[in-house]
């Protein structure tokens, strides 16, 4: 491996490790110094991808059976299929696509893309739970994964599964439903969002 390739790999790993912050019960806070540092290095990481995740912790009961995911793009259907394959490989129930959670995820992807910023905090100061509330979804627990710079569903899933916090959200046995978002900045940089929840 060339020293340039090694340097890019190191930068990517540092960004992945730094960005994988799990925020437990109580929601999110404003952008941290780590978030700001990641944003400052976004240009060198354009091809590498960046990740972010958030969680709320509340327990829930059994998961409903999954209906087919409709209304999702091919890329987002692939993310859903890969997410459920990871869960199935570990004996977990598949997640059901929920259109309300997709509204929250898609809106957040668009917001991040418009600002060219990977974050869990909306431009209006909202956290994932608040964005889910706005859709009318009544949740027991929620989690959110966000990533940017990954060009394919396969790439973003590999990135999320290689990050402990993101993997924990994907494999969380307490969530039963998922929404997905993908939006592009004006320069074509992709912003991915997974919103996980369990209804009341």
161-184 pLDDT per residue, tens: 999 999 999 999 999 999 999 999
pLDDT attached to residue 5: 46
- The whole-angstrom separation of Cα 31 and Cα 40 is 13
Half-sphere exposure of 26 (CA within 13 A, CB side): 5
Shortest CA distance to 56 belongs to which of 120, 119, 11, 10?
120
What's phi and psi for 5, nearest 5 deg?
-65, -40
- Which of the residue ranges 3-12, 39-48, 158-167 would you say has the lowest mean pLDDT? 39-48
Greater pLDDT, 147 or 42: 147
Burial label for 11, CB within 10 Å (0-12, 13-18, 19+), is middle
- Check pLDDT > 60 for residue 13: no
- The gap between the terminal CA atoms of the chain, to the nearest Å, is 51
pLDDT attached to residue 71: 77
Q: H or E stretch including 53?
A: strand 50-55
What is the DSSP secondary-structure string of 109-175? HHHHHHHT---SS-TTS--HHHHHHHTT--EEEEEEEEEES--SHHHHHHHHHTSHHHHHHHT-TT-
The pairing of beta strand 50-55 with beta strand 139-148: antiparallel
Q: What are the residues whose beta carbons fall under 8 Å from the beta carbon of 159, sequence distance 6 or more?
A: 16, 49, 51, 147, 150, 166
Q: Three-state DSSP class for 78?
A: helix
- In this structure, the number of other CB atoms found within 10 A of the CB of residue 112 comes to 28
Greater pLDDT, 22 or 178: 178
């Amino acid at each position: 491996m060339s020293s340039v390739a090694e340097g890019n790999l190191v930068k990517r790993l540092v960004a992945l490790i730094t960005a994988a912050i799990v925020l437990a019960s109580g929601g999110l806070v404003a952008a941290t110094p780590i978030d700001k540092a990641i944003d400052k290095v976004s240009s060198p990481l354009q091809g590498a991808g960046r990740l972010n995740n958030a969680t709320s912790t509340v327990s829930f009961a059994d998961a409903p059976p999954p209906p087919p995911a409709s209304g999702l793009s091919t890329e987002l259907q692939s993310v859903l299929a890969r997410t459920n394959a990871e869960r199935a490989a570990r004996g977990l129930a598949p997640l059901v696509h929920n259109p309300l959670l997709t509204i929250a995820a898609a809106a957040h992807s668009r917001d991040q893309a418009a600002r060219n910023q990977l974050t869990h905090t909306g431009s209006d100061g909202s956290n994932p739970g608040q964005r889910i509330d706005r859709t009318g979804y009544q949740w027991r627990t929620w989690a959110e994964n966000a990533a940017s710079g990954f060009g394919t569903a396969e790439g973003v899933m590999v990135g999320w599964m290689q990050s402990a916090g993101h993997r924990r959200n994907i494999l969380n046995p307490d969530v039963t439903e998922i929404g997905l978002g993908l939006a592009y900045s004006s320069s074509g940089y992709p912003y991915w969002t997974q919103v996980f929840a369990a209804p009341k």
